[in-house]
A and B are shown apart, each in its own frame.
Chain A
Amino acid sequence: MSQQIQPAKVMFDGPVHGRSPLHKYIFTGVVVLLCLWVLVPIYLLAVNTLSSPEDVNAFPKSLFPDLNTDSVSFFLNFAGVGQALWSSVKVATVTMVLSILAGAPAGYALSRFDFTGKSTFRVLVLMTRAFPLPLLALPLAVMYIRIGLDDSILGLALVHTTLALPFAVLITYSLFSGIPIELEEAAWTLGCSRLQAFQKVIFPLVLPGIAASAIFAFVISWNEVFAAAVLTIENRTLPAFLLQSLSFAPLHLKFAGGAVLVLPALIFIFLVRKYLFSMWGIANR
């Protein structure tokens, strides 16, 4: 949270001719308000996390933590947290790679070709997200035990990939759709093959968007609890590990557990934000 924006520095860009200073202030005010809307609840979670159990239960609550780290240190020293964290990162990374490898070609095909079964495929992809996953866990677990994928990083990543795939397909589809086909055609007339044209022209343009959908995949995997709780036992992921305990934990530990879950996701989004935003560079082609 060290990144403080300075409202005064938020300047209005674009055609500002004839825009009064009042407009600028309103604009800045709205942006700051929306930032607060996102940040305040997270700040409150932090307050609860960094308060002693007595303070978490006190009324009225103070808006400032007393920086008591008992709950957090309990979690960090909790047997198995480190291992679960590592499992989570591994599963989420494999999920990210798999969902892009499987999703992006499909997104490209949907945006560039008309073929029989196109709309069927699109609906099929969406159906995946429209059916409650917890019900699918039992048949999947049986299948896994029989083929030996049970309790493995790869096995869980495969299920998470299925969950993330619709996002990957749809996001890449809309990205490719947004790139004029003329660009590709121009490359072909200059003697590029389809593959070369894709590599040299299209790929650099969609890279940021692909990064965005990779992040989705990572986050989906990171936050998925139910399949993780059923399909892994000794290689539990962090959310499965924590959330199994969270719903029965006393309040102060619930908040600490929530924070332990939220913080890595925040850090991850922060790390990849450059990719998320490098699209600004390409917007000015």
Chain B
Amino acid sequence: MYSKSLPYMLLLPATLFLCIFFIYPFTLVAWQAFTTDTGEFTSSFFQEMASHWKFNTALINTLLLALAVVPFQMALAIYMATLVNGMKRGRDAVLYIWTIPLGISDLAAGLIWLAIFEQSGFLNSFLHTLGVVEQPVGFLGYENKGIIFLAIVLAEIWRATSIVLVILVAGMGLIPKEYAEAAEVFGASRWQRFTRVTLPMLKPSLQTAMILRVILAFEVFAVVVALGGTNLPVLMSEVFTWQYELRDAHVAAAYALVILAISIAFTLLIMWALRVPKGARV
């Protein structure tokens, strides 16, 4: 059918890229997590990281945020994609609006949501105008960790759902219409058509979207810092703190490896959970 080397030829450009611009610097950095400046092998940096009083909080916050954001985002994006699919007119405009956040960086998103939640921000102004509050409320005060968490979740859902949406919409566009029509002829309800035809056919796109979202969710940083300040340490903010404030590249590298490890673990899990059996491919 094809020569054995063809797939490898196709992978070559991407692999070369990754080796030079990722594997090489990554190896240097990862090496730092295990060796001292004088080159002795040690696990003391990981111990220092794990025994630091913020480590557990940062780890738990990161996982909780991902858990609160990603599933909801997936569901919302699937729902939005089916809505778009059922539209005749205005489809392009609606899709354009929904994909706008795609072009907005996390820093800008943090800024936008800070303008809403801060003490003299739009939310307080709105509540004040309605007469709900007399004095502006300090939503993002350090005692309101729950509200801070919620604000971050909202901002993240607002910011990063469009990525999932575009991948899913592209995937849905590839599902042949005949399948749904056939299912309808056989008397399947809308819900059955969705669960028995659309979702299984969407699996490859779902897998892709979910893996990307989860990985990026573990690296959440700019929005958290904008809204939570130092109140809600996450793994990525600790990487920055150790690298640039505490100036300890070894521990920063150890933190980065932790992010990498949980990302890989979740990636493998999602790959397995949403695997597409060879025979079931269209």
Residues of A within 8 A of B (CB): 3-7, 9-15, 27, 30-31, 34-35, 37-39, 41-42, 44-45, 48, 57-63, 101-103, 105-106, 108-109, 112-113, 115, 118-119, 121-132, 134-136, 138-140, 143, 158-159, 161-162, 165-167, 169-171, 173-175, 177-181, 194, 205, 208-209, 212, 215-216, 219, 222-223, 225, 239, 243, 246, 254-255, 258, 261-262, 265-266, 268-270, 273, 276-277, 279-280, 282-285
Most chain B Cβ neighbours within 10 Å, of A3, A269, A285: A269
Known A113-B2, A131-B256, A269-B102; judge A126-B263 contact (CB<8 A). yes
Complex interface residues of chain B between 33 and 49 (CB less than 8 A to chain A): none
Complex interface residues of chain B between 73 and 90 (CB less than 8 A to chain A): 80, 83, 85-90
Contact indicator A39/B97 (Cβ below 8 Å): yes
Residues of B within 8 A of A (CB): 2, 4, 6-8, 10-11, 13-18, 21-22, 24-26, 28-29, 80, 83, 85-108, 111-113, 115-116, 120-122, 124-126, 128-129, 136, 158, 163, 166-167, 169-177, 184, 201, 204-205, 207-208, 211-212, 215-216, 218-219, 236, 239-240, 243, 249, 252-253, 256, 259-260, 263-264, 267-268, 271, 276, 281-282
Q: How far is the CA of A258 from the CA of B226 in the complex (A)?
A: 13
Q: How far is the CA of A41 from the CA of B115 in the complex (A)?
A: 9
Contact indicator B102/A215 (Cβ below 8 Å): yes
Contact indicator A178/B89 (Cβ below 8 Å): no
Q: How far is the CA of A61 from the CA of B96 in the complex (A)?
A: 29
Say how far A223's CB is from chain B's closest CB, in angstroms: 3
Cβ contacts under 8 Å, A255 to chain B? 111, 115
Contact indicator B103/A124 (Cβ below 8 Å): no
Provide the main secondary structure of the chain A interface: helix
Contact indicator B25/A143 (Cβ below 8 Å): yes
Contact indicator B93/A268 (Cβ below 8 Å): no
Known A135-B252, A174-B167, A243-B107; judge A269-B18 contact (CB<8 A). no
Say how far A185's CB is from chain B's closest CB, in angstroms: 10
Residue among B29, B86, B97 making CB contact with A13, cutoff 8 Å: B86
Contact indicator A276/B99 (Cβ below 8 Å): yes
Cβ contacts under 8 Å, B173 to chain A? 208-209, 279-280, 282-283
Q: How far is the CA of A225 from the CA of B240 in the complex (A)?
A: 14
Contact indicator A48/B17 (Cβ below 8 Å): no
Q: How far is the CA of A127 from the CA of B134 in the complex (A)?
A: 50
Say how far A21's CB is from chain B's closest CB, in angstroms: 16
Give the nearest-CB partner of B278 in chain A. Answer: A114
Contact indicator A106/B83 (Cβ below 8 Å): no
Residue among A35, A60, A109, A127 making CB contact with B7, cutoff 8 Å: A109
Cβ contacts under 8 Å, A131 to chain B? 22, 26, 256, 259-260
Cβ contacts under 8 Å, B101 to chain A? 38
Say how far B185's CB is from chain A's closest CB, in angstroms: 11
Contact indicator A59/B7 (Cβ below 8 Å): no
Contact indicator A6/B95 (Cβ below 8 Å): no
A-B residue pairs in contact (CB < 8 Å), sample of 22: A3-B96, A10-B88, A13-B86, A31-B94, A58-B120, A59-B124, A60-B125, A60-B126, A63-B126, A109-B10, A124-B18, A127-B264, A130-B218, A135-B239, A159-B21, A161-B21, A162-B18, A171-B170, A174-B167, A175-B171, A243-B107, A277-B95
Cβ contacts under 8 Å, B83 to chain A? 27, 30-31, 34
Q: How far is the CA of A215 from the CA of B102 in the complex (A)?
A: 9
Contact indicator B96/A269 (Cβ below 8 Å): yes
Contact indicator B115/A35 (Cβ below 8 Å): no
Contact indicator A225/B107 (Cβ below 8 Å): yes
Contact indicator B94/A166 (Cβ below 8 Å): no
Cβ contacts under 8 Å, B22 to chain A? 127-128, 131, 136, 162
Contact indicator A165/B17 (Cβ below 8 Å): yes
Apart from A126-B264, A171-B170, list 8 A-B contacts with CB within 8 A.
A5-B90, A31-B94, A101-B13, A132-B256, A135-B256, A171-B208, A225-B107, A239-B105
Contact indicator A175/B17 (Cβ below 8 Å): no
Known A44-B115, A262-B103; judge A105-B177 contact (CB<8 A). no
Q: How far is the CA of A276 from the CA of B32 in the complex (A)?
A: 43
Say how far A93's CB is from chain B's closest CB, in angstroms: 15
Residue among A106, A129, A161 making CB contact with B11, cutoff 8 Å: A106
Contact indicator B205/A169 (Cβ below 8 Å): no
Q: How far is the CA of A103 from the CA of B14 in the complex (A)?
A: 6
Cβ contacts under 8 Å, B24 to chain A? 139, 143
Cβ contacts under 8 Å, A277 to chain B? 91-92, 95
Say how far A250's CB is from chain B's closest CB, in angstroms: 13
Residue among B8, B102, B212 making CB contact with A219, cutoff 8 Å: B102
Residue among A9, A13, A59, A106 making CB contact with B14, cutoff 8 Å: A106
Q: How far is the CA of A143 from the CA of B26 in the complex (A)?
A: 13
Contact indicator A102/B211 (Cβ below 8 Å): no
